Structures are given as structure tokens and as C-alpha cells.
Amino acid sequence: MDEDNKTNYKNLQENMDKPDDEYTEINGENETNEMNYTGVFLSIGAGLGVSFGILFDNLTIGISLGTALGLVVGAVVESVKKKK
């Protein structure tokens, strides 16, 4: 084993106990506790769109409208939460 491999192995062992994601503080607030409402409502809207698409026998329009509606609702909720 040459010196480079020993050094890399030592660095690997030192970094194993460190967390992968370190939170970042912006303006004194911890950003990791923020919930991404756009993503949540996007997935809920897509799920509801699939359901309505199957119900009305037009899956492509159902998914598209559900995703669009979820995106809009999520953006509105996220904007309201950021104002508080």
C-alpha cells in the first residue's frame, strides 16, 4: 500500500462520523426546518390528477391538471408561510 492510499484511507476514516448534510444558517434561521410546500402539493396534485384521470377516462389531462393545480397551491401556501 503506497502513501497516497494510506492518506485517503485515513481521511475516509475521519469523515465517517461526520454528518453528510450540515445545516446552513441564513439570517440567523436554520433552513433545514423549512418545509417545501410546493413539492408536497405537487405530489398530492399529481396523485389526485391520476385518480380523476382514471375516473374520467382521460389520464393525460388528469395528471397535467392535477400537477398544475398542485404546483399553484403549493406556491401560494409557501408564499403565505414566508410572509409570516
> Is 77 part of any domain?
yes
SS (H, E, C) the chain: CCHHHHHHHHHHHHHCCCCCCCCCEECCEEHHHCCCHHHHHHHHHHHHHHHHHHHCCCHHHHHHHHHHHHHHHHHHHHHHHHHC
The domain in which residue 81 lies consists of 35-84
- Predicted pLDDT of residue 9: 66
pTM: 0.58
> Is 82 part of any domain?
yes
> Is 6 part of any domain?
no
At 15-35, the pLDDT tens digits run 666 665 555 555 555 555 678
> Is 9 part of any domain?
no
> Is 23 part of any domain?
no
Number of domains in the chain: 1
> Is 65 part of any domain?
yes
Contact residues for 71 (Cβ-Cβ < 8 A; gap 6+):
38, 41, 42, 45
- Predicted pLDDT of residue 34: 72
> Is 46 part of any domain?
yes
Cell numbers at 7, concatenated? 492518506
pLDDT along the chain (84 residues), means of 10: 59 65 54 78 95 95 95 94 84
